[in-house]
Structure 1
Amino acid sequence: MPAARAGSRTPGSRWLQTEAGKGWVTISPPLIYALLLLIGPIIVIVANSFWSQDYLTIDRSFTLENYKAALTEPIYRDLLFRSLFVSVTVAFVTVILAYPVAWFVSFRGGRYKGLWLFIITVPFWSGYLLRILSWKVILGYKGVLNETLLYLGVIAEPLSSLIYNVNAAIITLAHSWAAFAILPLFVSLEKLDRSLLEAAADLGDGPVRRFLRITLPLTAPGIIAALMIVMIPTVGDYVTPKLVGGKDGVMIANAIQVQFGKASNWPLGAALAVSTMVIVTMVAGAIVLLIAGLKRLVK
């Protein structure tokens, strides 16, 4: 009887007893939950982007007018280009500034690496909005920076160009996402085989050559991860441009927020969101391919 029952098992039940089957059973609840939370809203947004709306009435007939407006109207096109410029600039500036910090913690941190990481992440325990408002105080017309420059005699009157522009948004965003760039870079540097650097030194390579030929190429995955972690969310940030960017620092996310909010035009807002998502994905892919090409070139 036991043999008969064992033989009557279906292929599916036998598969569930394997290591792969047990693994899928273990991760399936959180996987389903994540799919519902991630893919579900995306499906709703994509569906809305092909509809039209007249005040509070939604017409669910298929149309491409929203995408036509999102991609051809000058105001949305300019906002999208500005958003891409800001996000790419913030990503590269953040990674360039974060890399030396991650390198120092990894190579010079010694037994205090955990303490250094703790010190780096402590400022980011405060709220995101609080950090933005702090930069507003620093860059304001009567802020810390202007008062310091006045005290030192560098300027005769406060500078009004420090805030409410694209530069202020870039500075604030770069600081806000610094820790998110440092951590993947640190992990990538920690995985670097130090014996390769020692061998290169024995063969006569100097510090710069060792960095360019070994450290930089082997930590390229961490650089790519840091760039993506910073760049992709930055495009969708609308709080920072609103608080420190002013009219010259408005980004596409602000236009999307207006369409979903005050304008109550969900289809157009959805089309703007989907268009931005697709274009950002293409730009991110191009950056990944570019870094991969540079890595091969260095080798």
Structure 2
Amino acid sequence: MSPTLLVMSIGILAPFLILVTMSLWTRDGFSFDTALTMANYERAWTEPIFGALLKRSFWISGIATVVTVALCYPMAYYVAFHVHRNKMMWIILMTLPFWTSYLLRVFAWKVILGYEGVINSGLMVVGLIEEPLEFLLYSREAVIITLAHAWAAFAILPLYVSLEKIDKSLLEAATDLGDGPVARFLRVTLPLSLPGIIAAAFLIFIPTTGDYITPALLGGPDGAMIGNFIQLQFGPVNNWPMGATLSIVLMLWVSAIALVFLFITRLAKDKIA
């Protein structure tokens, strides 16, 4: 394991340590003052704009996570329990649209939600609206819809694996004891598939919180997230220390939310058991 651990250490720990060190610097004109200070962290804690962007990012990412898991669970459930042949083919077909570029899929949603896009054109053709809906694009809703679609493949796979591992004899035993379909699902299937739900939620929530491509292309002023502000610090603003600080703060907040979520989930699981 030594070669693998060495590569992982260089590839993960080294950039993280560089980021932490850089977050303790400050910008001095067009260069950086390398004297270690906590000024950037104080600014990140006190200035309201950073807190507002973090709250908005967590809200958008949280809603996108819930929507994605809720939409992907029935598909994974159907393949796991109702498809008896060529299951791998079903998995491939469900994930096939996600083999294309992430950026292309974002641009596709920009066309679909646009002022003269598919949705507005279709609604006008059937006579439900007289003029295009302006709120579909450049809004939080557009960001949530696009994120939910773009990361769906990362939810389907862990959900399917978790559901596929459930012992079918447990469902038969629940039926023999008088449980109907709803009770059987709530008492057996849902609790046993909880690890897959947690894994899918983490795989979506963590990366979407720091996403900046989708908000930049579809979000507009109301849909901007913390990732866009971090990208500006490393780009046009040229304030790398502040960008590094915000990256560290975001990682700490995401880690704290994940730990709280795991704790609550464990309590709920023990209560169900």
SS in 2 for 1:111: coil
* In 2, Cα distance between equivalents of 1:277 and 1:268: 14
Tell me which of 18, 26, 35 is aligned to 2:9.
35
Provide Cα deviations, 1:2-57, integer angstroms capped at 9, x if missing partner: xxxxxxxxxxxxxxxxxxxxxxxxx2212211221111111000111111111222
Aligned amino acid, residue 90 of structure 1: A
- Note the alpha carbon deviations across 1:208-242, whole angstroms, 9 max, x for none: 11111111111111111000000000011100000
Bigger radius of gyration among the two: 1
Question: Quick one: which amino acid aligns to residue 218 of structure 2?
Answer: V
In the aligned structure 1, how far is the partner of 2:217 from the partner of 2:16? 28
Counterpart residue number, 1:231: 205
| Gap runs ≥5 in structure 2 | none
Q: TM-score normalised to the size of structure 2?
A: 0.98
Question: Superposition pairs for residues 1-299 of structure 1, below 5 Å?
Answer: 27-299=1-273
Match of 2:68, as an amino acid? T
- 1:261-284 deviations in Å (ceiling 9; x for gaps): 111111111110000100011111
- Contact kept in structure 2, 1:212 and 1:298, CA below 8 Å: no
Amino acid at match of 2:24: F
**SS of equivalent to 2:86:** helix
Bigger drift between 111-120 and 178-187 goes to 111-120
Identity %: 51
Q: Which runs of 5+ in 1 are unaligned?
A: 1-26
Query: Structure 1 residue runs of 4+, over 3 Å off?
Result: none
Structure-2 separation of matches of 1:194 and 1:150: 48
When normalised by structure 1's length, the TM-score is 0.89
Deviation at 1:112, TM superposition (A): 2.3
CA distance in 1, matches of 2:158, 2:29: 46
1:291 positional shift? 2.2
Do 1:106 and 1:189's aligned partners in 2 also have CA atoms closer than 8 Å? Answer: yes
Match of 1:45, as an amino acid? L
In 2: Cα distance, 1:58 partner to 1:136 partner: 38
In 1, Cα distance between the equivalents of 2:141 and 2:45? 25
**Contact 1:55/1:265 (8 A) holds in 2:** no
Does structure 2 conserve the Cα–Cα contact (< 8 Å) formed by 1:180 and 1:230? yes
Partners of 2:234 and 2:149 in 1: CA distance:
28
CA distance in 1, matches of 2:151, 2:118: 22
1:294 Cα deviation after fit: 2.3
Aligned length: 273
Q: Which amino acid aligns with 2:106?
A: I
The Cα shift of 1:71 comes to 2.0
SS of 1:110 mapped into structure 2: coil
Letter in 1 for 2:237: A
Whether the 8 Å contact between 1:53 and 1:59 is mirrored in structure 2 is yes
